[in-house]
Amino acid sequence: QRGIRYDLCIFRTGDGRGWGVRTLQRIRKNSFVMEYVGEIITSEEAERRGQVYDRQGATYLFDLDYVEDVYTVDAAHYGNISHFVNHSCDPNLQVYNVFIENLDQRLPRIALFATRPIRAGEELTFDYNMHVDPVDAESTRMDSNF
């Protein structure tokens, strides 16, 4: 709830992936790094925009389809530095749903936490095709039942 607390830098990648984000200071394992923010739109609107973005060769859509496929975060026009975080199959950030001043499971906030210690100067990445950890899934079921 205190926002980004690390010095981060947007940079041009050298391998053709466009822009990326690196940290300018060490980040400890399990630390909150940033929130993925943008415009909350319906999944129908995301489908329409996604076709336009695909033609442009870039998309910043993050589906909030953990419970129902109702909403999507679009960071194309409104957002923060998270808009520039690239994908990796071996990421150093993990996505978690968090609820702040809202308990609607269809509208989680998207928090990115460090999966391991991250060195100063290292690029920040997360897996765009992430899978819910079975322990997290069980915890979610327990929370829902509670």
> What are the counts of helices (DSSP H) followed by strands (DSSP E) for the chain?
2, 10
**Which pLDDT score, from 0 to 100, does residue 6 have?**
96
Please compute, for residue 44, the number of CA atoms within 13 A of its CA located in the half-sphere on the CB side.
Answer: 0
Cross-strand pairs, 39: 74
Mean pLDDT of the chain: 87
Overall average pLDDT of the 114-139 stretch: 78
Q: Residue 82 in contact with residue 35, Cβ under 8 Å?
A: yes
Overall average pLDDT of the 76-84 stretch: 93
Q: Which pTM does this prediction carry?
A: 0.83
Of 36, 53, 71, 96, which residue is the catalytic one? 36
Which part of the chain has CATH 2.170.270.10?
Answer: 1-37+80-145
CATH superfamily of 1-37+80-145: SET domain (2.170.270.10)
* pLDDT of 137 strictly over 90: no
Q: Is 128 a catalytic residue?
A: yes
* pLDDT of 134 strictly over 50: no
Overall average pLDDT of the 77-106 stretch: 91
Strand order in the sheet with 39-42: 39-42, 71-74, 61-64
Q: Residue 61 in contact with residue 74, Cβ under 8 Å?
A: yes
Rounded to the nearest 5°, which phi and psi values hold at 108? -75, 155
89 annotated as ligand-binding? yes
d(CA 125, CA 93): 6
**Which pLDDT score, from 0 to 100, does residue 58 have?**
82
**Residue type (1 letter), 75:** A
Q: Residue 112 in contact with residue 93, Cβ under 8 Å?
A: yes
Q: Is 36 a catalytic residue?
A: yes
